[in-house]
């Protein structure tokens, strides 16, 4: 691969990043090639030692997404970060996707339980409107108590979600830092 091929592959694989950052990264590799050529190496030799531009880009993109979810923890940012980290290698697929699905399922079911408890008095009321003959006070009081419980669960879930998200972002960072990506298989 010539320098131009290497840089243009890297550039296309980095299109998610801002122009400024991409320019900065390409600049680093320009410099690397320039010094290498100055030492008498060919562009092909240099790019062979650098390794695959795709893999380099993957790592940069993963870091970018993990940083982004750390500053703004939206669901879509989280999905992008998880996806990018999984893309780093097969090992990440196992140790990232598994915990992610498990945690997401637990959090989702917590929210569903909390919210459905909260709306349970409404359901009792609707039920009463449709079938006035089955109304009893026990149902109403029970559903009001359930709504109180649901409120507590929902508030609890808010904090649980925040904590778990923070913890999981740290886990993603750890993955980017220590697990496979860009190193030669030996």
Partner 1 sequence: MNVQFKKGVLELCVLVLLDQKERYGYELVQKISEQIDISEGSVYPLLRRLTKEGYFTTYLKESTEGPPRKYYKLTDVGRNYLQELLDEWNQFSNGVNQLIKEGVHDD
63 lies in the site for partner 1, by CB under 8 A? yes
Judged by CB under 8 A, the residue of 2, 18, 42, 49 near partner 1 is 49
- 3-state helix, strand, coil split of the chain in percent (to 5) is 85, 0, 15
Nearer Cβ to partner 1 (34/152)? 34
93 lies in the site for partner 1, by CB under 8 A? no
Q: Do 15 and 57 meet the contact criterion of CB atoms below 8 Å apart? A: no
Cβ-Cβ contacts under 8 Å for 135 (sequence gap 6 or more): 127, 128
5 lies in the site for partner 1, by CB under 8 A? no
Task: Restricting to residues 7-46, name those near partner 1 by CB under 8 A.
Answer: 25, 27-32, 34-36, 38
Shortest approach of partner 1 to residue 46 CB, angstroms? 8
* Integer angstrom CA distances of residue 74 from 9, 69, 71, 169, 170: 30, 7, 9, 12, 15
Q: Given the rule CB under 8 A, which residues bind partner 1?
A: 25, 27-32, 34-36, 38, 49-53, 55-56, 59-60, 63, 67, 91, 176-186
């Amino acid at each position: 691969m010539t320098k131009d091929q290497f840089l243009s592959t890297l550039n296309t694989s980095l299109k998610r990043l801002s122009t400024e950052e991409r320019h900065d990264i390409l600049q680093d590799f320009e410099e690397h090639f320039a010094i290498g050529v100055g030492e008498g190496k060919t562009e092909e030799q240099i790019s062979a030692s650098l390794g695959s531009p795709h893999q380099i880009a993957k790592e940069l993109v993963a870091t970018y997404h993990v940083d982004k979810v750390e500053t703004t923890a939206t669901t879509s940012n989280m999905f992008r970060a998880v996806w990018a980290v999984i893309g780093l290698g097969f090992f990440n697929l196992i140790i990232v996707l598994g915990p992610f699905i498990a945690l997401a399922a637990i959090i989702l079911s917590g929210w569903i339980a909390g919210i459905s408890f909260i709306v349970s008095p409404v359901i009792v009321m609707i039920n009463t409107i449709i079938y006035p003959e089955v109304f009893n006070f026990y149902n109403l009081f029970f559903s009001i108590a359930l709504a109180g419980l649901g409120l507590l669960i929902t508030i609890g879930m808010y904090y649980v979600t925040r904590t778990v998200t923070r913890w999981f972002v740290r886990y993603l960072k750890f993955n980017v830092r220590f697990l496979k990506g860009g190193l030669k298989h030996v």
